[in-house]
Structure 1
Amino acid sequence: MENGNIYGNEKKSVVMTTALASLFAIAGGLAIGNLYWAQPLLAQIMTGFGLPVSNGGLLVTATQIGYAIGILCIVPLGDFVQRKKLITIVMSLSVLALFTCAVSPSFVILSLSLFSMGLVTVSGQIILPLAGDLSKPSDRGRIVGIVSSGITTGILFSRFASGILAGLWGWRAVYIIAAVLNLIMALIIIYVLPVIPSSNKMTSYKGLIVSVFTTFKRHKVLPKILLHTGLIFGLVFNLFWTSLTFLLSGDPFNYNTFQIGLVSLSGLAAAVFGVGLGKLQDNGLSVPALGIFVLISLVTMIFGYMVSDSIVAVIIIAAVFSIAVQGISVLSQARLFALSNEERSRLNTVFVVNNFIFSAIGSALASLLWSWGGWSCVMLGGIMISFIALVVWILSKSSFIEMDETIGI
């Protein structure tokens, strides 16, 4: 395993600074946020088209399917082509797709537009590996933490702002505003980011895609990295937040959508603290810190089981749990990017697809556990999965420590 950054030309062209990392964070947040504008708008959209609200979930499904295909087919190109051009193209196409969503005359056209938007709004997942490439090895964790926190903020902001904007000007205005914001960011990226030459040795797109599926063969520690984020971010995170909506909308809270959205802002704690969490990787503390974050996840699920009728307790649990999840995600991604200097876009593809699969399972599991026994049953599920993740960490410690010693962390 090699240490250092092989992109000699890139290091001469671009100096990764906190300011540039912050710009990457905003760009990544806008891109990922495009996936979530629709979630609070489903009832308004379906009512406008004169269709049952229950069919609104198909719009989210169309977006997710498009995003999954984009992650698998477009993001690996970050290891293959000139990335400024790639980022510019996908951001420009995202702007076009968002405008198309705004003017869609029917449910079918909107579904196709959202599918297309999901397909191309992948710039955040190209930017994140690029940030890792341009960073010094001793500073990579911090930079990944900054950009990752921007992505987290984008998810939370889009969900929250979407409902407010739609209440003021209607759901179509949300997509017009999103398109304008993405257009401005695309122009800034074009101006700020210089040409970054590709240094990859791949000779064909087919070979590039095939190599995504063979990363497990080349990096034996990869499944252990993915299992941590899959179990905590994919399963427990989605169990908690999906079921929290059910909890807050019923007795004793009976909150409306706006009030639930305000509670969800407690997740911003993850974005605030996440900026500095990557330093733990840079300082050689990644392995114990990862275990502590998994343990915090377990403890918050236990408290969630014990306390469910106090909104103050729920907000504190949500905030602390979100910080733990962000810590696991940032540290896992920083470790992922340390595996190889030439494969970061492909490794990030595997990372995101892994989380996507686990998240889909987590959301389905949340509904199932809620139907069985409500909040208590969901929290018991979260406790069990967090405990399994803790066992996985214990079994993975020696491999992670060996990896850190090999790459000189």
Structure 2
Amino acid sequence: MANPSKSAQGLSPGLLLLLAVAAGFMVSNLYYGQPLLEVIGSDMGIPLAGIGWIVASAQAGYLLGLVLLVPLGDVVDRRRLITLQIGATAVGACTVTFASSPAVLLVGFVLLGGASSVVQTIVAFTAASSSPDQRGRNIGTVTAGVVSGIILARTVAGGMTDVWGWRSVYVLAGSVAVILAVAVFRALPPERTDRGGVSYRQAVLSVVVLTRGNPVFRTRALITMFLFASFGVLWSGMSLLLGGPGWDLPPGIIGLFGLAGLVGILAAAKAGAAADRGWGQRVTGVSLAALLGSWIALWLGEWSLLWFVVGIVVLDAAVQAVHVSSQTLIVSGAEESASSIIGSYMVFYSVGSAAGAATVAPVYDAWGWAGASVLGVAFAIGALAIWGAGQLRSANFGPTASAVRSAHHAGAE
């Protein structure tokens, strides 16, 4: 880190707020399209079975960013990297705005998703710059910003589409990116680039090293993959259910359903504090059981919007609690390599999110919302099974976080 005393003192409230706001706006780029799938598909001539690729292409770009851009945070000044990534989202947003064909549209979403991986560079900066006793809480605060961005993205996108059309959403995204790039560059302190002697190649290969060599990371990464696949089934499939013949709701109303996920903000903050106390595994087990149960309420959403809202509340809270617990556990004790560790972990997030988005549309097309609900349940069972298997391998709460550090450094030698 650039300023050793900064890590000891922790982040100031103002800087932490800016990081949370920036992370929230950047993650929004991945979710603006979810309530708009039918509208965008109709406008661009994309068939029903293929509209899931609108969201999946952004997630694919995000995956590339996680592998190729986020690890740079361990070898370059994160202030400059964060600024450049945020600025690059404006380029992706402009490409989407002016797309005249499905091919150009999908390329724009790939670019937008790739640059939006800056969210994880921000999380890594937060983890590395936080004092040990505040790390989980600070990660929880930034994650609360991410949850807010996800929720508001759907609500804002739906409302703006009803008034000005779906392209206006990406005009907003590009404009905000320019403002945030300037604000972040002015506010963040510069960093040294000799933080751990890890090369860019070694940082990029961290996902392989950590997955093969560390059971804590591997378990948490696989849980995340299934967790966000289940998450993606809901949020990419929601517009198909609510905008279809059964409910026939406009995008603006569909976007408002995202507000039900606001409880995820509280869950993220509480989970971070619980992880600081050593309760991360307990939070994970309870939350994954809740995730599984949430799909019962979501399945009933075909007949009752009240049950659908209940399902959203439970699912979002469960997902964010597990997500924050996992990030806190894998970074603790390996702060100097936070960018490559978080980036590697989020590769599995991106794969899971893309899988959920890409599979729900054809499943819904073939078997309706009942089939989509079964798909969400299957992914939730996968996450719970992996957590259970990890618990069986350890009499306590799993290996210590130092194992993550050891595995990472072993790959750097």
How would you bin the TM-score normalised by the shorter chain? 0.7 to 0.9
| Equivalent in the alignment of 1:16 | 11
- Structure-to-structure mapping, 1:9-408, within 5 angstroms: 9=4, 11=6, 15-40=10-35, 51-54=44-47, 60=55, 62-103=57-98, 110-202=105-197, 204-234=199-229, 236-250=230-244, 252-305=246-299, 308-338=302-332, 340-367=334-361, 369-370=363-364, 373-397=367-391, 398=394, 401-404=397-400
| TM-score relative to the length of structure 1 | 0.85
| Equivalent in the alignment of 2:406 | none
CA distance in 2 between partners of 1:238 and 1:400 (Å): 32
Read off the aligned partner of 1:160 and give its amino acid letter.
Answer: T
CA distance in 1 between partners of 2:140 and 2:92 (Å): 29
Distance 1:384 1:184, change over 3 A: closer
Read off the aligned partner of 1:212 and give its amino acid letter.
Answer: V
In the comparison of the two structures, how many residue pairs are matched? 399
CA distance in 1 between partners of 2:365 and 2:99 (Å): 36
- Residues 232-291 of structure 1 show CA distances to partners (whole Å, capped at 9, x for unaligned) of 222x22233344433333465332332222223212221243233210101221111111
Read off the aligned partner of 1:193 and give its amino acid letter.
Answer: L
CA distance in 1 between partners of 2:40 and 2:14 (Å): 38
CA-based RMSD of the aligned residues comes to: 3.1
Give the 3-state SS of the residue equivalent to 1:194 in structure 2: coil
CA distance in 2 between partners of 1:347 and 1:173 (Å): 36
Structure 1: give runs of 5+ residues left out of the alignment: 1-5
| TM-score relative to the length of structure 2 | 0.84
Contact kept, 8 Å, 1:305 with 1:379, in 2: the verdict is: yes
Distance 1:244 1:400, change over 3 A: farther
Contact kept, 8 Å, 1:83 with 1:197, in 2: the verdict is: no
Give the 3-state SS of the residue equivalent to 1:214 in structure 2: helix
Structure 2: give runs of 5+ residues left out of the alignment: 404-413
Contact kept, 8 Å, 1:219 with 1:339, in 2: the verdict is: no
CA distance in 2 between partners of 1:112 and 1:61 (Å): 12
Of 116-125 and 167-176, more deviation after overlay is shown by 167-176
Give the 3-state SS of the residue equivalent to 2:190 in structure 1: coil
Distance 1:128 1:100, change over 3 A: same
Distance 1:254 1:46, change over 3 A: closer
Contact kept, 8 Å, 1:102 with 1:176, in 2: the verdict is: yes
**Structure 1 residue 325: deviation in Å?**
1.0
